[in-house]
Structure 1
Amino acid sequence: MHEKYEAEVNKILKKFHISKTCGFALPDPLTSLPEYYAPWMELAANLTELIETHTLRERVMQVLPRSVAVPFCAVSKCLGLPPIIVHADGVLANWRRRDADGPMTIENLDTLVRLPGGANSRYFFLCTVMVEFAAVPGIIGLVKCVEAVRAADEATLKESLLEVAEAIHGMIKALSTMHDHVDPAVFFGVIRIFLSGWMDNPVLDGLHYEGVGDTPYMYSGGSAAQSSLLHCFDAALGIEHDPKHGSFLARMREYMLPRHSEFICWLADGPSIRSHFVSRSTPPESSARAAYNACVSALTRLRSDHIAVVTRYITVQSARARREATSPAGFALAEKGTGGTAILPFLKGVRDATAAALIE
């Protein structure tokens, strides 16, 4: 990293609670809590067994008991998150190193809390956290890009944009490991059910949090759109989405840790990287401009690959469920993502908007 920007980059990362090694993921999350939290920790540790043996309620009611709802909402309020499983819970803070001194590789990682689905469930969350880790150089690169535009430092801007593009390619590689580790049928029929929320969900018309409010609350389920990563790239690169898609993405920021959402705003409000090239009418042969386009192309490829994952893990499985009339819970949610949106039209829309950001 250029020494003249290192202090400012470190300052920004610290301000927005971003790790230089783990990015938005929580560095080495705690594996245990004080004795007071033992009842909840015991439930979490045995959650998969309790669900699979039907020791927990077999049919989910539309009321969350006071003993769970009150502390859950209190903790969520302290964190600035809604009281439902979100990306920050299932991914950013749900990992540990098997060997504390070992590398940050998927072979040396494990989840802290597991859902039904066995190794498929574990690898679903770990593959996702590996995407977060792969993005770290890109997050740092975005901060350097902003500072370089502010200083009219063309050389550093080009170098930093290339670092961002390389990081996005790393994210693409990390995402591809999902195909090696997670069975589509298990994801669709088992894992996905536990990530679904009660907004735009035909199975539940909201959930009443006993002791917290008098009416049911509506929340979206865990979704890749709750990861701050793509929001950051969009904000920094000046990628604008269709109002309908943009409004959903904006709502997903409410499901992020507040400092991470504020970082996205910091990028959006800072000197515009895209305007730097467009307003200056840089020549097509400009190497910095080419580096910007490399970022946009990589981001378009990442979104295309995500569409391929969704097609294999949701669309194809949904069609199979229709033919076989199986997995009723999964079928009820088949046309929407766990975040509550019509998934393929949404993903194709944001992918196409990304591709349109290329500077001719």
Structure 2
Amino acid sequence: MIATTTSPTDLLPVPVLEDYDVSPVTGFVPHDQPLSRLPQAYFQPWEETMDQLNHLIDSRQLRAKVDQWPVLDVAQLTTLRERQRAYVVLGFVAHSYIWGSGLDVSQHIPEPLAVPWVAVSDILDIAPVLTYASNDLWNWKLKDPKGPFELENLETLATMTGTKDEDWFDIVSVAIEIAAGPAFKALIDAIHAVREDNIRTVIECLHLAHVHLDKVSKLLPRMFENCNPAVFYWKIRKYLAGSEGTANLGLFNGLQYNGVNNNNERRHYMGATAGQSSVFPALDYFFGVTHHDLDNQSGHKSAPNALLLKMRGFMPAPHRAFLDHLAQTANLRPYVLSKTANDDPEGQDVKELISIYDACVHCIKLFRDNHIQIVTRYILTQAKRGPPEGWEDYRVKVEDQPLAVAKVEEEKSKTEEKAKEVEEGAGMKGTGGSDLMPFLKGNRDETNAAKIVTPVKK
């Protein structure tokens, strides 16, 4: 019996979700709704700008307004939710300031924006860039405060384009996060049951988790309902870009944060991406899915995947800590394998355990299948088609920036050289900087390989 032998995963207490700002109901999304505005009058310059954000972007007045902000002290923020709201506001304004004035990409953000943004980011222990946390986790509300935490009852607090497409793009992600919440509660209970070698309780917990993971796998295709791929690629996507690997967009050497550390340092951060969600790293730990880097020359794989680890640095600090704790206590896969090896593999309980375990893994695999389809339609297809006629091109206006001409031409040359690769989905970058298709297909295939019963490739 497993209970008679102490394993490494038994040495630490099982994580308590609430200790890491994770809700058993809404997962990594705050169960108490994010603040829709800061309550202190002191921060009204920020909130007034947010009230007018779409108009200020469209009228090209945002930069002039932000340049006139006072430099506000984030010590006036007294609660976690206030700090998260400030981080959302400053991130939205910053990325609108950088990318939102047509063809003129700003190489800096001014002191009244940079100084408090870096300060509140330091307090929250998260990078001063638009992240998945600021764009999604902390940027939503219930339409009916007494209604359910479901997609139809959710909407964003803010968007940068003012389009229903951006609202839907963000809120589908929030709905996915929320749908996963109860699965985490069931899987934590399963870890406890494994420690007690209670196979029936483990099975029951996995059945409950499967109900919610099935919902998760079916939500992503709903993106097509209200988010037009062309609107996403040509109007929304640029706002998600960070300051790393964005020379082709006109941000050539990172971003200058005026007034920070008295040296106006330039910083390089990846942009907001769903890869910064904690949901799937957590599920990977629960089910023992491992992701590798592939050496294209030798063909050898090595774990862990460096890009996935890099993305973790852009998650909220409590969620990173949860993943670290979970990595040391997850025990489901070793338990299922031990039952397969040591107990009667034809016994009803063992067969049911393997079946429901693989069913849960299959839900994760299906989600990753759907993610590949989304990326194909929303990024690869759009990149090949080019912008619809009459739509503004937000790339840098080189005739107004002579020093940038050579760099733009160099990037253009690289793009042309990779044209054939783009046709196949290779070489295209996500907003987080990943080579999209190899990265996503690798994650999907490694998930499928985690099934106990030899998976059939489809």
- The question of a shared fold, defined as TM-score above 0.5 by the shorter chain, is answered with yes
Q: Which residue of 2 aligns with 1:15?
A: 19
Q: Which residue of 1 aligns with 2:371?
A: 306
Mapped pair 1:78 → 2:123? yes
Mapped pair 1:64 → 2:112? no
Q: Which residue of 2 aligns with 1:240?
A: 290
- Offset at residue 271 of structure 1 (A): 4.2
Mapped pair 1:40 → 2:90? no
In structure 1, how many angstroms separate the alpha carbons of the residues matched to 2:116 and 2:258? 11
In structure 1, how many angstroms separate the alpha carbons of the residues matched to 2:205 and 2:430? 34
Mapped pair 1:111 → 2:156? yes
In structure 2, how many angstroms separate the alpha carbons of the residues matched to 1:12 and 1:54? 47
1:291-340: per-residue Cα shift (whole Å, max 9, x none)?
11111111111100111011111111111118989746499898210101
- SS of the equivalent of 1:336 reads coil
Structure 1: any 5+ residue segments left out of the alignment? 1-7
Q: For residues 211 and 307 of structure 1, do their structure 2 counterparts lie closer, same or farther at Cα, with a shift above 3 Å needed?
A: same
- SS of the equivalent of 1:122 reads helix
CA contact (8 A) 1:117 1:190 kept: no
- SS of the equivalent of 1:255 reads coil
Q: Which residue of 2 aligns with 1:229?
A: 279
Of 282-291 and 69-78, deviating more is 282-291
1:119-177: per-residue Cα shift (whole Å, max 9, x none)?
11111111111111111111112211211111211111111122222222101222121
Q: For residues 66 and 91 of structure 1, do their structure 2 counterparts lie closer, same or farther at Cα, with a shift above 3 Å needed?
A: same
- SS of the equivalent of 1:110 reads strand
1:172-226: per-residue Cα shift (whole Å, max 9, x none)?
2221211101010000011111011111222322111112244311101001111
Mapped pair 1:185 → 2:242? no
In structure 2, how many angstroms separate the alpha carbons of the residues matched to 1:268 and 1:313? 33
CA contact (8 A) 2:132 2:276 kept: yes
Q: Percent identity?
A: 35
CA contact (8 A) 2:136 2:173 kept: yes
CA contact (8 A) 1:91 1:125 kept: yes
- Offset at residue 243 of structure 1 (A): 2.7
Q: CA RMSD in A?
A: 2.4
Alignment of 1:167-206 (within 5 A): 167-202=212-247, 203=249, 204=251, 205-206=253-254
CA contact (8 A) 1:198 1:206 kept: yes
- SS of the equivalent of 2:16 reads helix
In structure 2, how many angstroms separate the alpha carbons of the residues matched to 1:306 and 1:352? 13
- Offset at residue 80 of structure 1 (A): 1.3
Q: TM-score, normalised by structure 2?
A: 0.72
- Offset at residue 108 of structure 1 (A): 2.7
CA contact (8 A) 1:117 1:187 kept: no
2:312 to 230, 238, 253: 253
In structure 2, how many angstroms separate the alpha carbons of the residues matched to 1:218 and 1:145? 41
1:147 to 192, 196, 209: 192
In structure 2, how many angstroms separate the alpha carbons of the residues matched to 1:346 and 1:315? 14
1:317 to 382, 390, 398: 382
Of 104-113 and 137-146, deviating more is 104-113
Alignment of 1:82-93 (within 5 A): 82-93=127-138
In structure 2, how many angstroms separate the alpha carbons of the residues matched to 1:338 and 1:69? 22
Q: For residues 49 and 100 of structure 1, do their structure 2 counterparts lie closer, same or farther at Cα, with a shift above 3 Å needed?
A: same
CA contact (8 A) 2:26 2:182 kept: no
In structure 2, how many angstroms separate the alpha carbons of the residues matched to 1:141 and 1:24? 15
1:241-269: per-residue Cα shift (whole Å, max 9, x none)?
11367111111111111111111122210
Mapped pair 1:52 → 2:58? yes
In structure 2, how many angstroms separate the alpha carbons of the residues matched to 1:355 and 1:183? 30
- SS of the equivalent of 1:96 reads strand
Mapped pair 1:338 → 2:342? no
- SS of the equivalent of 2:193 reads helix
Mapped pair 1:348 → 2:441? yes
Of 185-194 and 274-283, deviating more is 274-283
Mapped pair 1:157 → 2:202? yes
Quick one: which amino acid aligns to residue 42 of structure 2?
Answer: Y
In structure 2, how many angstroms separate the alpha carbons of the residues matched to 1:181 and 1:44? 24
Q: Which residue of 2 aligns with 1:207?
A: 255
Of 197-206 and 124-133, deviating more is 197-206
- SS of the equivalent of 2:242 reads coil
CA contact (8 A) 1:28 1:95 kept: yes
Q: For residues 80 and 289 of structure 1, do their structure 2 counterparts lie closer, same or farther at Cα, with a shift above 3 Å needed?
A: same
- SS of the equivalent of 2:123 reads helix
CA contact (8 A) 1:168 1:295 kept: yes
CA contact (8 A) 2:218 2:367 kept: no
